[in-house]
A = this chain, B = another copy of it.
Amino acid sequence: MRLAELSERARVPRSTIKFYIREGLLSAGAAHARNQASYGTQHLERLELIRALREVAALPLAVVARVTAELDRGWQGDPIGEALLAMYALPAPATGDAPERRRLAKEVRAFLRALPWTTDDDRHYFADEIAGALVQVRRYLYPDYPVANLASYAEIAWLLSEAEFELAPGGARVPVRARGDDLAEPTRRAILASVLFEQIFAALRRCANSMRSIRVATGVRVPPASVTRPARKRVARRKRAKP
């Protein structure tokens, strides 16, 4: 399709499309002549992805650019879904070149590798992101905060991911790239799900912390946490009942 049609169907102004192309978020159309190019559905889907990430997840364009760049690298033949790879690019871009951060990132990477559930896939930026936050934690809060303290967080994160996979009607599961070109839809869904449920969980966490604070402060009973495994369809019994 022509630019005009793409613009109309995606409901994105032409100038914006050109802007995205300039910025590398969108590939240029196949040029037949110097002033003639045609665009495919992948352009439409990409525009929808960009819109979703911008409007729904409110990601800055620079982050969207990293995500789309990751998608464009094309990981065919890789067992890992492309959406997954794109998620690798979601974290903030290693703010500050402090050598301290790099040192910490190494430590965090080792910590992650030692977890029972990580794979040896090492292309992720998670460690950098965590290290960046840890630098701030040490600077502003606890000068000697040990990386090992993250063990409980990691365990709970794994538990959370288990719950997410059980709960999402097929959505948390990142789709493995299949043959064919129209994989953008599940990709968009996976990325969006990741971002949206991150927001929801963060709110619940703040809520929980607030309530715990109130209870501790007022001497009200603080109920212990216990986790029920979601059974196939619905919520289940206590975990203690297991082995």
**CB within 8 Å of B: which residues of A?**
52, 56, 79-81, 84, 87-88, 90-91, 112, 116-119, 121, 124, 126, 129-130, 133-134, 136-137, 140-142, 146, 148-169, 171-174, 176, 189, 192-194, 196-218, 220, 222-228, 230, 235-236, 238-240, 243
For this chain, the copies found in one complex come to 2
Question: Which residue from B118, B150, B166, B217 sits with its C-beta under 8 Å from A80?
Answer: B217
Question: Which residue from B129, B171, B230 sits with its C-beta under 8 Å from A203?
Answer: B129
| Contact B207 A124, beta carbon cutoff 8 Å | yes
30 CB-based A-B contacts, threshold 8 Å = A56-B140, A80-B213, A80-B214, A88-B210, A116-B223, A118-B207, A119-B220, A124-B210, A134-B200, A136-B192, A137-B193, A137-B200, A150-B200, A152-B228, A153-B163, A155-B226, A157-B201, A157-B204, A157-B208, A158-B223, A159-B226, A161-B205, A165-B212, A173-B213, A174-B209, A176-B217, A194-B209, A198-B205, A201-B205, A243-B243
